[in-house]
Structure 1
Amino acid sequence: MGVQSGTVTAIETCSPAKLNLFLHVTGRRPDGYHSL
């Protein structure tokens, strides 16, 4: 990834994260946490 002269219109980078596609959030509890 380098920088060139001119206007930068987009930046692409890697950001490792854990994404749980099977997590089912069922609501929010009175204490602010989510029910799973």
Structure 2
Amino acid sequence: MKNEQKKGIKLTGILFNAIIIGSIIIALTSGYKLV
């Protein structure tokens, strides 16, 4: 049970990082298009 919870936390952490990185890339690309 404890192991499963840890795995879930790790997965959400990876997903959260991916979303942040994705938003930064989108913000940068749209920023370049505006310039």
Q: Do both share a fold (TM > 0.5)? A: no
Q: TM-score range by the shorter chain?
A: under 0.3
In our comparison, the structure showing a higher alpha carbon Rg is: 1
Normalising by structure 1, we get a TM-score of: 0.18
Normalising by structure 2, we get a TM-score of: 0.18
Comparing both chains, which one has the higher relative contact order based on Cα–Cα distances under 8 Å and sequence gaps of 6 or more?
1
Greater percentage in strand: 1
